[in-house]
Amino acid sequence: MKDKHLTYAESGVDIEKEEVTIKALTKGMDYRREGLGAPLTGIGHYAGLIDFGEYALALATDGVGSKVLIANEMKCWNTVGIDCIAMNVNDLLAIGAEPISFVDYLALEKHDEDFAAQIGEGLRKGAEISRMSIVGGETATLPDIINGFDLAGTCLGMVRKENIITGEKVQLGDAIVGIPADSVHSNGYTLVRNIMEQSSYSYHDKFPYNESTTIGDELLIPTRIYMEVLDVIKECDVHGLAHITGSGLLKLKRVTSLGFDFYDPIEPNDIFKFLQEEGNVDDFEMYKTFNMGMGFVIILPQDQAEKAASMTGGKIVGRITEKGIKVGNLVMVE
């Protein structure tokens, strides 16, 4: 198995084909409301913004993805609710919006009271960390469609119009502050599961880098929620923000057409080292698929970078250049 380099695309998720599908899906979405509620951004940033007087309302929607299959295997569902909220909240934070409310969508094959209580536990904790209310949702029983369950949600946030951060202020020489990820978070799990299926390990085996836990539990560590970013925005002149999720560093192209030089990247978590070794995955594929230890990025002037790093537990990882995306000697985009 280790003679072959496993990839995300061969595991079933082709990022390039996904982009083509998104373009086909959205190309006809040209109707735009006018006045109050009119869109302030196009489709394609981390969150959508609509006009609400002196404020913009922000909307994001996302789910947990195939990480739920590992939760099923481990019969541990009390963290995936945190993941569901985190994936939405972090996208709002990436345009400078404060989350205020959330609705969830739980699709089930069948009902189970203990399972439902665990899902609710995670949602409650995620909402508490995010300082927002869960105001409703939907539960659908779909035995002909769902094998197990799927969990998704939609988050509403708000931001004063003058405080919206979409990347226009990013300039050459700006510092890049990286904030650590707690885990794999909620992306790339199709590749994770392919690696595990072809590995000699099971999810219940001890994690080789920390034998006090199992591989499955390590993979279920919930997505970090980066609420401290709001404090940085209040105290620093933030030029750009990015939530590092699916497509890894490639989504930085959403923020600016300028380049990114990660000359001192955050050390990847041990789980990434394990997955790379077991799947014989090359460095490019790892950084294209996973967060690789860095879950959020703040771009701001060099003279404010140390302060932002101190406030978030992060560090200065790079600078803005003319073009491309580099991680050390690895060229992601020319």
Domain boundaries, the chain: 32-163, 174-333
148-to-70, 106, 139 alpha-carbon distances in Å:
11, 11, 13
- pLDDT recorded at residue 3: 63
pLDDT at 1: 47
Global confidence as pTM: 0.93
Tokens found for residue 141 = 């029983």
| CATH superfamily assigned to domain 32-163 | PurM-like, N-terminal domain (3.30.1330.10)
Q: Which residues of the chain have pLDDT under 70?
A: 1-3, 15
Best CATH choice for the domain 174-333 from the list 3.40.50.970, 3.40.50.720, 3.40.605.10, 3.90.650.10: 3.90.650.10
Token readout for 300 is: 């701001």
> H or E element: which one contains 17?
helix 15-26
In the chain, DSSP assigns E strands to: 48-52, 55-63, 98-108, 133-141, 149-160, 175-180, 206-207, 210-214, 240-243, 259-262, 294-300, 315-321, 325-327, 330-333
